[in-house]
Amino acid sequence: MGKVLRQEWLETDLSRKEWLHWKRTFENFMSVLPQEGLDKLAVLANFVLPSIFQHIEECSEFLLTTLQNPGSLSKSTATINIGEVQVKVLFDSGSTLTFIHPSLVQRAGLAVQPASGAVTMASTALSVNVTVTCTTGLEYQAQKYANLHLLVLSVFCADLILGLDFQSQHKSITFQYRATMPLLSVCGFSTLSMDPAAPFANLNRDCHPIASKLCHYSTNDLRFIEGEVERLLKEGIIEPSNSPWRTQVVVTKDENHKKAGYQLFPNY
């Protein structure tokens, strides 16, 4: 019986079909074990790779589930085209960036580029490292989108997740739920009428910038800074400036909590 129900290791680079198959075989394996006093988390830890174990080692409860239930996500999914490949895509307003599964990268024949950085999930204690990205175009509802920057990760519930970097190209996006309550508009704020703040308004004409040497950054830090600046520019958080006043940035990383990844701060 042990040989017949021998459980395979759970890896991160799985397609949806492979994940569903692993989940079913693991449930079958658990069902033949003595249930009294069974520590399901301890059993699960024996069949996952270290890259997955680091995300479950502090869990206190066991719940094996999947986010691929059509009933829970169907209202925010659609079919798009990447070249000749049709893909089920999830529109996720809670995701800042757009992600693609490695299996879809291979299926669509996309070229990847090396990358360095971390992506933080809903919990700040949970993050995953990004090692490769890719750029591609897609088509949806006769609208073509070119040069989309995608982060390649295999820990999500869909082959392609379109985040706010994609959705914010449109004035608004509407999901039809066919319910009876009236339209709910999120972030439908009125424009605030006020004069913009004047930077350095408290300085007089005798104040001048102080010249200082540039900081030295490692290769990984420079890559992270370039990626963050590109993201902040794209999201409209910062803008180009030719001012003589400036501040350098500091890249930090907590070695005791590596899940937090890199962070960028202005050095005022």
Q: pLDDT tens digits, residue range 205-246? A: 788 788 888 888 888 888 888 888 898 888 888 888 888 878
Q: Is residue 210 part of a domain?
A: no
Do 148 and 117 reside in the same domain of the chain?
A: yes
Query: Please, are residues 118 and 62 in contact by the beta-carbon 8 Å criterion?
Result: no
What's the N-to-C CA distance of the chain in angstroms? 66
Are residues 43 and 76 part of one domain? no
Q: Which residues contact 38 (CB under 8 A, 6 or more apart)?
A: 30
Q: What is the pTM assigned to this prediction?
A: 0.47
Least confident of 46-50, 95-99, 132-136: 46-50
Q: Are residues 159 and 226 in the same domain?
A: no
Q: How far apart are CA 125 and CA 55, in angstroms?
A: 9
pLDDT value, residue 11: 60
The Cα 261–Cα 131 span in angstroms is 13
What is the pLDDT confidence band of residue 138, given thresholds at 50, 70 and 90? very high
Containing structural domain, residue 243: 219-266
User: Does residue 229 lie in a domain region?
Assistant: yes
Residue 13: per-residue pLDDT: 55
More confident residue, 67 or 150: 150
Q: Is residue 231 part of a domain?
A: yes
CATH number of the domain within which 163 lies: 2.40.70.10
Q: Render pLDDT for 153-190 as a digit per residue (tens, 0 to 9).
A: 876 667 899 998 999 899 888 887 777 888 877 765 55
If residue 118 lies in a helix (H) or strand (E), which one and from where to where?
Answer: strand 112-120
